[in-house]
């Protein structure tokens, strides 16, 4: 029996913010995997996936981005209040909406997944930076749209300096230290 089944877990929202290619999805999947093997209930909400269902049709204006984030926040809150570890991987470039999430949800943990634009661009995981530089994608965060760095995140994962495994451990250890999970 996993610990969670014998404990009344409070749930938590783990919100990963950062530039495209910084490592949000990679770390989110790693953390989810780690917690699942320890029998925690976990759900992963990935910005790219959400945009093809819950937020289908929304664009990348500030208004549409905020709508997208509010929807994800609403779902994440439903999950976390039912004891689930809700992990969100979404750029979430605006400070105001991140602050709103913090105010309107419970157990909100902001994780800044940090890498320089140059490194994200050189990784170009999805080939989007090349297209953005060529002007084929408008409103691309970091190139033609702002990214407002978190001022006071609970966790900063520096993905240029540390390995994926180290970043995943950093997040899991934080959850443990704050007693969101029992290892
Ligand atoms: P995002 O979801 O932020 O757009 P991805 O997770 O899709 O970013 O891509 C990040 C890329 O960076 C992957 O190719 C991953 O292997 C690489 N990477 C290198 N070091 C790290 C690290 N410490 N944490 C996360 N990703 C890393």
The answer to whether position 183 is within a domain reads no
> Is residue 29 included in any domain, yes or no?
yes
- In a domain? residue 158: yes
Given a cut of 90, whether residue 89 has pLDDT beyond it is yes
Q: How many domains does the chain have?
A: 1
Q: What is the pTM of this model?
A: 0.95
pLDDT, tens digit, 9 for 90 and up, residues 116-161 = 999 999 999 999 999 999 999 999 999 999 999 999 999 999 999 9
Work out the pLDDT band at 6, boundaries 50, 70, 90.
very low
- Is residue 151 domain-resident? yes
Q: Does residue 3 register a pLDDT over 60?
A: no
The answer to whether position 130 is within a domain reads no
Q: How confident is the model at residue 108 (pLDDT cuts 50, 70, 90)?
A: very high
**124 domain-assigned:** no
Residue 182 pLDDT: 86
By most ligand atoms within 8 Å of CB, the mutation choice from 21, 23, 120, 163 for ligand 1 is 23
Domain of residue 17: give its range: 7-116+147-177
Q: Residue 89: which H helix or E strand, with range?
A: strand 85-89
For the cut 90, the answer to whether the pLDDT of residue 112 exceeds it is: yes
Whether 142 is in a domain gets the answer no
Report d(CA 57, CA 69) in Å as an integer. 14
Cβ neighbours around 61 below 10 Å, total? 12
CATH of the domain at 71: 3.40.50.300
Q: Backbone phi, then psi, for 79, in 5-degree steps?
A: -65, -50
**Which residues have CB under 6 Å of ligand 1?**
18, 20-27, 89, 113, 123, 125, 159, 162-164, 167
User: Is there a domain that residue 123 lies in?
Assistant: no
């Amino acid at each position: 029996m996993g610990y969670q089944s014998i404990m009344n877990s409070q749930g938590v929202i783990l919100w990963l913010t950062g530039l495209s290619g910084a490592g949000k999805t990679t770390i989110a999947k790693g953390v989810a995997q780690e917690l699942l093997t320890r029998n925690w209930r976990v759900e992963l909400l990935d910005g790219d996936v959400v945009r093809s269902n819950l937020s289908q049709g929304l664009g990348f204006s500030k208004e549409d981005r905020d709508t997208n984030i509010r929807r994800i926040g609403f779902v994440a809150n439903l999950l976390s209040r039912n004891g689930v570890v809700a992990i969100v991987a979404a750029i979430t470039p605006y400070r105001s909406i991140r602050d709103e999430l913090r105010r309107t949800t419970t157990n909100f943990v902001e994780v800044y997944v940090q890498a320089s634009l140059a490194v994200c661009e050189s990784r170009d995981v999805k080939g989007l930076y090349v297209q953005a530089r060529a002007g084929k994608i408008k409103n691309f965060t970091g190139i033609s749209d702002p990214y407002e760095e978190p001022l006071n995140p609970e966790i900063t994962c520096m993905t240029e300096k540390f390995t994926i495994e180290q970043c995943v451990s950093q997040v899991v250890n934080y959850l443990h230290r704050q007693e969101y999970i029992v290892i």
